Amino acid sequence: MTQATSSHKCPLLQVQMMEAGELRPVKGPCGHVFSYKGAHETLKKAKGGTMPCPMHGCSFKLNLASLVDAKDVAKEIKKAARGD
């Protein structure tokens, strides 16, 4: 039996995301996950506060209001930290 591995690294900041705080995972309407800090910093630089999702090939528009906490990913991070 193989175990699937999942990266909990923010694709924008290239740092490990945390369960809570500025590095908590947030999800765009497209389902892509970023750290809150990475998304916030990137969107601050975007004209009008809106930009296409930075993931290659994704055309969804992102703004701060479109991001939601990715509670499922936060649970995965917590579980990984415990070593489950």
Give the start-to-end residue ranges of the domains of the chain: 25-82
Element at 7 (helix H, strand E): none
Q: Give the whole-number percent of the chain exceeding pLDDT 70.
A: 92
DSSP state of 79: H
User: Over the stretch 10-48, which tens digit does the pLDDT of each residue have?
Assistant: 999 999 999 999 999 999 999 999 999 999 999 999 888
Structure tokens at 56: 């290659």
The pLDDT, as a whole number, for residue 82 is 83
Residues 63 and 49 sit within 8 Å (Cβ to Cβ): yes
Tokens 């990913």 sit on residue: 73
Question: CA 62, CA 21: separation in Å to the nearest integer?
Answer: 20
Q: Which residues pair with 73 in a beta bridge?
A: none
Four-residue CA torsion sign, 40, 46, 51, 56? negative
